[in-house]
Structure 1
Amino acid sequence: MTVVQPRAGHRAGSDAVFLAAAVPAGAGETVLEAGSGVGVAGLCLLSRVPELTVTAVEIDPALSALAQDNAAKNGLAGRFTAIEADVTAPAKALRAAGLVRESYDHVIANPPFYAQGAVRAAPEPSRAVAHVMAHGELAKWVRFLTTMAAPKGRLTLIHRADYLGELLGQLEGRFGDVAVFPLFPKADEPATRIIVQGRKGSRAGSRLLRGLVLHEPGGAYTAEAEAVLRSGAALPLAGPQKKKGRRFGG
């Protein structure tokens, strides 16, 4: 996949690729990505899953335009729609942008990782918006994703590991069957990223998965990480589906 990114400012990295790998989307389903940047996560998904459609929501008009161009460069424009919108905007503004509530099988996000005041904001406005989130905005992002997810739809997002408690709190009462998938820089180091996934309206409990080690001791990617980054392999987060059949004894 070939992707054009700005020379300066925010640039997508491996987080977007691992996010896409964790989404259990199937052919014919619909995906909405919040804060899509230049479209890397959505385009990775389209490359892996046939007949999937992706709607990419991005507040920065330049990045949104680049995302649509990147879809065209990779022959995916027919299944990819970039929408310029603020995910924290009122419902009326979101409807005007073409976003229909409860209409997506999957909602995904790679939200800004840092709380306002915790780090020095980058001088480039686009990079600052992509990296720093104002206090209370994570709740607004989760509310947006909840609103857009179809009944029983799945949410998948990637964040810093130290945000796990806050994320679980935001998902409570909205998404159940929550799986937490840690990403470890090396085998002997604590996780720095987590992928969190849940199903809307489910009452099932949470699961902590074994996760993925990204690098060998010498710094090279592990074979498992390479399979995702180079070969489009998927990450198995979704739990086993209950088989439908005859119920005995009543």
Structure 2
Amino acid sequence: MTGCGDIDATRLLGGRVTLFQPADGYRVAIDPVLLAAAVPAVAGQAVLELGCGTGAALLCLAARVPGLAVTGLEIQDLAAGLARRGAAESGLADRVTVLDGDVSAPPEGLRPNSFDHILANPPFWPTGRHTPSPSGHKANSHGEGAGDLAGFVRAALRLGKSRGTLTLIYPAERLDHLLSLLAGRFGDIRVLPFWPRAGLPAKRVIVSARRDARGPLTLLPGLVLHGEGQGYTPAVEAILRDAAPLPL
């Protein structure tokens, strides 16, 4: 694992998960925790996270669902190493595997049609739409220079099982782009908006879809993140602190 300055430890899910992150890079927000809560996985299934970063989503998912086999794929060796370290520190190393590799060219160890569920928090701003961070880790987390969304969808088609799910978190303003890539490939699409506060436009959505399915798109009621004060709503607190699921 290549050095990158100081490393910080962050506790997630009420202390169930320990996440290690570069002190000067991308800092985990609530997005990966909400993403992990939305994956409908059960014990005995296999799950893959494309572009797992330092492991926030895959570690939260493994901690929430005992008996689940979780694999992460990450292109940055520092982030992949920190994800492995987090799995060991969280007591999940026996069920969490982190592979070094590129979403656009997955390593041979990832067999086609082998995962029940695939999740991703993909880079979301096209090249030229954002100012890259001086931190390479943070820049790759946000900008599509790390692999565009179409590449994530192609990888999910190749690696996921028929009727398996793909779950992504994405900016609401780019939902049309995501849906255009899923069309004809995935069905039973369900869209859950996240409202920062009641009455405000959604900034993020979670989208769940099934490979080879033909069901219609469903726009779900959505989830309000913050109440009248600065804190989260009870429903969000239950996800962030108590590892509650987020059914779609």
Pair in the same fold by TM > 0.5:
yes
Work out whether residues 193 and 205 of structure 2, in 8 Å CA contact, stay in contact via their aligned partners in 1. yes
CA RMSD of aligned residues (A): 1.3
Classify the secondary structure of the residue corresponding to 1:186: coil
Are residues 1:197 and 2:213 paired? Answer: no
AA paired with 2:28? Answer: A
Give the alignment partner of residue 51 of structure 1, picking from 67, 82, 86.
67
Q: Distance in 1 between matches of 2:204 and 2:150?
A: 19
Aligned equivalent of 1:123: 134
Q: Distance in 1 between matches of 2:78 and 2:18?
A: 18
AA paired with 2:30? Answer: S
Q: Find runs of 4+ consecutive structure 1 residues off by over 6 angstroms.
A: none
- Compute the TM-score of the two structures, normalised by the length of structure 2: 0.91
- State the 1:146 CA deviation: 1.4
- State the 1:135 CA deviation: 10
User: Tell me, which stretches of 5 or more residues in structure 1 are unaligned?
Assistant: 238-250
User: Tell me, which stretches of 5 or more residues in structure 2 are unaligned?
Assistant: 1-16
Give the alignment partner of residue 28 of structure 1, picking from 23, 44, 47.
44
Work out whether residues 12 and 37 of structure 1, in 8 Å CA contact, stay in contact via their aligned partners in 2. no
Q: Which moved more, 1:177-186 or 1:211-220?
A: 211-220
Identical pairs, percent: 47
Aligned equivalent of 2:186: 175
Work out whether residues 116 and 135 of structure 1, in 8 Å CA contact, stay in contact via their aligned partners in 2. no
Give the alignment partner of residue 6 of structure 1, picking from 1, 18, 22.
22
Are residues 1:88 and 2:104 paired? Answer: yes
| TM alignment of 1:162-241, pairs within 5 A | 162-237=173-248
> Residues 135 and 75 (structure 1 numbering): CA distance in 2 closer, same or farther, change over 3 Å?
closer
Q: Distance in 1 between matches of 2:95 and 2:44?
A: 10
- State the 1:117 CA deviation: 0.8
Aligned equivalent of 2:154: 143
- State the 1:136 CA deviation: 8.2
AA paired with 2:193? Answer: P
Q: How many residues align?
A: 232
AA paired with 1:68? Answer: R
Q: Distance in 2 between matches of 1:193 and 1:156?
A: 13
Aligned equivalent of 1:247: none
Give the alignment partner of residue 115 of structure 2, picking from 95, 104, 121.
104
Q: Distance in 2 between matches of 1:158 and 1:189?
A: 18
- State the 1:4 CA deviation: 1.4
